[in-house]
Structure 1
Amino acid sequence: MQQSLEFLVFGATGQQGGAVARALKARGETVRAFVRDAQSHKARALAEQGIKLVVGDLFDRASIERAMQGVDRVFSVQTSSPSGLVSDEQEVMQGKAIADSAVAANVEFIVYSSGGAAGKGLTGMGHFDSKSQIEEHIRGLPIAATITRPASFMEMMLLPGMGLNTGVFTFFMHRDQPMQMIALNDLGRINAEILCHPERYAGQALELSGQSITGKDLECAFSLAAGHPIRYQRFSEELLAGNVFLRKLTELVDNGVVAGIADIPALEREFGPMLTLKEWLAGAGKAPFDAALNMATADIALR
Structure 2
Amino acid sequence: MNTQETGAIAVFGGTGQQGGAVVDALLARGARVRALVRSPDSDRAQALATRGVELSAVRIDDPATTVAALKAVDAFYFMTPEANSLEEVEEEVRVGAALVDAAAAARVPHVVFNSVFGADRETGVPHHDSKHRIEEYLELSGLRATMVRPTAFMENFATVMAPSVEDGTIVLRLPLPDDIALKMISIKDIGQVAASILLGTADVPGGAVEVIGDELTGSRIAAAFGAHAGLPARYEALPLSVLGNDLDKAMFRQFAEASEYPSDLAAVRAIEPSTRDLAEWIRSTGWTAPTDLVRS
Q: What is the distance in 2 between the residues matched to 1:269 and 1:161?
A: 29
Kept in 1, the 8 Å contact 2:9–2:32? The answer is yes
Kept in 2, the 8 Å contact 1:25–1:31? The answer is yes
Q: What is the distance in 1 between the residues matched to 2:177 and 2:197?
A: 34
CA 1:77–1:226: 2 relative to 1, 3 Å: same
Matched, 1:73 2:75: yes
Q: What is the distance in 2 between the residues matched to 1:12 and 1:277?
A: 25
Q: Which one of 57, 62, 65 corresponds to residue 63 of structure 1?
A: 65
Report deviation, 1:78: 0.8
Structure 1 counterpart of 2:137:
137
User: Secondary structure of 1:194's match?
Assistant: helix
Q: Which one of 241, 247, 255 corresponds to residue 257 of structure 2?
A: 255
Structure 1 counterpart of 2:247:
245
CA 1:191–1:86: 2 relative to 1, 3 Å: farther
Q: Which runs of 5+ in 2 are unaligned?
A: none
User: Secondary structure of 2:76's match?
Assistant: strand
CA 1:161–1:149: 2 relative to 1, 3 Å: closer
* 1:214-229 mapped onto 2 (5 Å cutoff): 214-226=217-229, 228-229=231-232
Return the TM-score normalized by structure 1: 0.83
Structure 1 counterpart of 2:197:
194
Structure 2 counterpart of 1:35:
37
Q: Deviations for 1:227-286, whole angstroms, at most 9, x for unmatched residues? A: 55554322235426x7533332232222227x7643112332343142111211122x33
CA 1:98–1:53: 2 relative to 1, 3 Å: same
Return the TM-score normalized by structure 2: 0.85
Q: Deviations for 1:24-80, whole angstroms, at most 9, x for unmatched residues? A: 111111101122333434323322322112223445434322321332210010112
CA 1:41–1:229: 2 relative to 1, 3 Å: farther
Report deviation, 1:164: 3.5
CA 1:226–1:44: 2 relative to 1, 3 Å: farther
Report deviation, 1:179: 1.4
Kept in 2, the 8 Å contact 1:164–1:230? The answer is no
* 1:112-127 mapped onto 2 (5 Å cutoff): 112-120=113-121, 122-127=122-127
The count of residues paired between Structure 1 and Structure 2 equals 288
CA 1:141–1:101: 2 relative to 1, 3 Å: same
Q: What is the distance in 1 between the residues matched to 2:8 and 2:60?
A: 20
Q: What is the distance in 2 between the residues matched to 1:208 and 1:116?
A: 8
Q: What is the distance in 1 between the residues matched to 2:145 and 2:280?
A: 32
Report deviation, 1:198: 8.3
Structure 1 counterpart of 2:153:
153
Q: Which runs of 5+ in 1 are unaligned?
A: 298-303
Kept in 2, the 8 Å contact 1:146–1:202? The answer is no
Matched, 1:205 2:221: no
Percent pairwise identity: 33
Q: CA RMSD in A?
A: 3.0
Kept in 2, the 8 Å contact 1:37–1:43? The answer is yes
Q: Which one of 18, 43, 55 corresponds to residue 20 of structure 2?
A: 18
The one-letter code matched in structure 2 to 1:36 is R
CA 1:281–1:44: 2 relative to 1, 3 Å: farther
Matched, 1:234 2:231: no
User: Secondary structure of 2:203's match?
Assistant: helix
Report deviation, 1:112: 0.7
Q: What is the distance in 2 between the residues matched to 1:204 and 1:36?
A: 29
